[in-house]
Structure 1
Amino acid sequence: MDKMKVTYEAMLGLAAEMVLDDAVQKFRLERINQAIDKALAAGDEDTFLRLANELNSIRPTS
């Protein structure tokens, strides 16, 4: 019985970590997209290229 409880708690912890990781990634993607929009509006090509590269490096592959 104790082994099942430990396993359940471990699985619950992994699920919580996955939810948190997903939320953090969505937040980062949104912030980068906003910064890209600002760079485009300002005509700042260097910042746009840097942010676009960063976005491509963290964007999920699906």
Structure 2
Amino acid sequence: MENNVLNGMDRVDPNLRDKMLAELFLNQVMNDFKRNKILEKVDHSLKNKDKEAFLSLTEELKSVS
């Protein structure tokens, strides 16, 4: 699918294309950051045997992934 998106972007104004790619990149970086922070908290909840926090964080992780 990404190939189709990139192929279609050849026909888009270069400035708009650059803006769209920058937004996609930024969104991916932000999602990766959020995911990593949640995973750190999951590890912490496991270490502390906090089942409630673990269950809550795994649900939150599903929405970010």
TM-score range, shorter chain: 0.7 to 0.9
The structure with the larger Rg is: 1
Distance in structure 1 (CA, Å) of the matches to 2:63 and 2:20: 24
Unaligned runs of 5+ in 2: 1-11
Q: TM-score, normalised by structure 1?
A: 0.82
TM-score by length of 2: 0.78
Let me know the Cα RMSD of the aligned residues.
1.3
Which structure 1 segments of 5+ residues have no match?
A: 1-5
Q: Which runs of 4+ in 1 moved over 2 A?
A: none
State, as a whole percentage, how many aligned pairs show the same letter: 28
Q: How many residues are paired up?
A: 54
